[in-house]
C-alpha cells in the first residue's frame, strides 16, 4: 500500500539485485519495469528454480533496502504472483504489457515512456542494452515489426503509439491479459493440464546431494566431522541450490551448516567470489 520505489537509489538497488539474481540462478530476462508500489518481470527459468530464485531475490532486495533506508518489517505484501506464459506471440504481448505499465499506472507520460529509466524498454531501444536483455527471444513474434529493417526501432515506435492510443493495446489483447493464471492459447493451456509434472521434491534433493558427495569424494561422516562453513560444503550448497532448487532450511540441516542465515551468508560470499573472478 506504500511506494516501494520512492527514490532513485531504491530503484537502482532493485535493478542490481535483479541482475544478480538472473546471473546466479540462470534466468533469461525478457522484460521488466518498476512502478511505485511493485514491479513486473518476464523471465524464463531453465533450471526450474523460480521459487528459490524469487525467495533469494526478494529477500535480498528487502534486506539491502532496509539497510539503506532504515525501514523495518516485510517489504512486499504477500507472495509474488507468477503466471505461466506460452512462447511466441503471447510472450511478445506480455513484454509489451510490461513496457506499457509505467504509463497505465501514471508513473510516466506516454511521450516520455521510451526515456523512463526503470524499465527494460529504454535499454532495448537505446544504445545500452546488455547482452542478457536481448529481444531476440520475442521480437520476431511482434507482427507489426517482424518485417521491419530495424526491428528494435520499429518496436520502440509501436510501444510509443500504443502508449498514446490505449485502444491499440486492447486490439491485440494486451489489456487484461494477466487476469488468469496462464497466458497463452487454448492448446497451451490444455497441454499444461495434461503434461505438467509436480515440482522436484525432497527425493530429488537427496539424490542430488548423494551424487555430489560421491563426485567430491565425501561422505555423511565428513558432513558431521567438518566445520559448518567448510569450503566444500559451501560448494555443495551452491550446487544444490542451482541444480535442484533445494531450500536453505533443508541444506542447512543435511549439510550441518548451522542456521538458514549462515547458509545464505556463505552462498552470498561464494557468488560474490564467482562474479569477481568472471569480471577479472
What is the tens place of the pLDDT at every residue in 106-117? 899 999 999 999
CA atoms within 13 A on the CB side of 21: 24
Residue 74's pLDDT is what?
A: 62
DSSP secondary structure of 94-151? HHHHHHHHHHHTTSS-GGGGGG-TTBHHHHHHSS---GGG-GGGTGGG-TTTTT-SSH
Rounded Cα–Cα distance for residues 84 and 91 (Å): 10
Tell me if 275 sits within 8 A of 23, measured CB to CB: yes
pLDDT in the model for residue 58: 87
At residue 78, the 3 state secondary structure works out as coil
Among residues 80, 2, 71, the alpha carbon closest in space to that of 36 is found at 2
Quickly tell me which residue has 511521450 as its cell. 111
Residue 279 confidence (pLDDT)? 66
- For 95, counting Cβ atoms within 10 Å of its Cβ (0-12 exposed, 13-18 middle, 19+ buried), the class is buried
- The Cα–Cα gap between 19 and 139 comes to 21
Running DSSP on this structure, what letter comes out for residue 247?
-
Q: How far apart are the first and last CA of the chain?
A: 42
In tens, the pLDDT along 190-233 reads 887 766 555 556 778 888 899 999 899 999 889 999 999 999 99
Which residue numbers in the chain have pLDDT < 70? 1-4, 6, 69-78, 167-176, 194-201, 278-280
C-alpha cell at 207: 539424490
pLDDT at 168: 59
Amino acid at each position: 500500500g506504500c511506494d516501494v520505489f520512492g527514490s532513485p537509489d531504491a530503484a537502482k538497488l532493485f535493478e542490481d539485485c535483479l541482475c544478480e539474481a538472473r546471473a546466479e540462478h540462470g534466468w533469461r530476462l525478457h522484460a521488466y519495469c518498476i512502478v511505485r508500489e511493485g514491479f513486473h518481470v518476464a523471465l524464463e527459468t531453465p533450471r526450474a528454480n523460480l521459487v528459490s530464485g524469487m525467495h533469494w531475490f526478494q529477500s535480498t532486495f528487502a534486506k539491502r533496502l532496509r539497510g539503506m533506508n532504515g525501514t523495518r518489517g516485510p517489504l512486499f505484501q504477500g507472495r509474488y504472483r507468477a503466471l505461466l506464459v506460452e512462447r511466441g506471440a503471447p510472450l511478445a504481448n506480455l513484454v509489451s504489457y510490461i513496457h506499457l505499465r509505467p504509463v497505465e499506472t501514471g508513473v510516466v507520460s506516454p511521450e516520455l515512456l521510451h526515456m523512463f529509466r526503470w524499465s527494460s524498454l529504454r535499454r532495448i531501444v537505446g544504445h545500452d542494452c546488455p547482452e542478457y536483455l536481448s529481444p531476440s527471444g520475442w521480437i520476431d513474434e511482434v507482427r507489426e515489426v517482424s518485417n521491419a529493417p530495424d526491428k528494435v526501432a520499429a518496436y520502440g515506435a509501436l510501444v510509443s503509439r500504443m502508449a498514446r492510443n490505449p485502444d491499440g493495446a486492447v486490439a491485440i489483447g494486451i489489456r487484461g491479459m494477466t487476469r488468469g493464471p496462464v497466458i497463452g492459447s487454448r492448446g497451451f493451456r490444455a497441454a499444461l493440464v495434461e503434461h505438467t509434472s509436480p515440482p522436484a521434491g525432497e527425493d530429488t534433493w537427496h539424490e542430488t546431494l548423494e551424487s555430489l558427495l560421491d563426485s567430491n569424494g565425501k561422505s555423511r561422516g565428513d558432513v558431521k566431522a567438518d566445520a559448518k562453513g567448510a569450503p566444500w560444503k559451501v560448494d555443495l550448497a551452491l550446487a544444490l541450490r542451482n541444480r535442484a532448487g533445494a531450500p536453505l532450511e533443508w541444506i542447512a540441516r543435511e549439510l550441518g551448516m548451522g542456521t538458514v542465515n549462515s547458509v545464505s551468508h556463505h552462498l552470498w560470499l561464494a557468488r560474490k567470489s564467482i562474479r569477481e573472478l568472471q569480471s577479472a
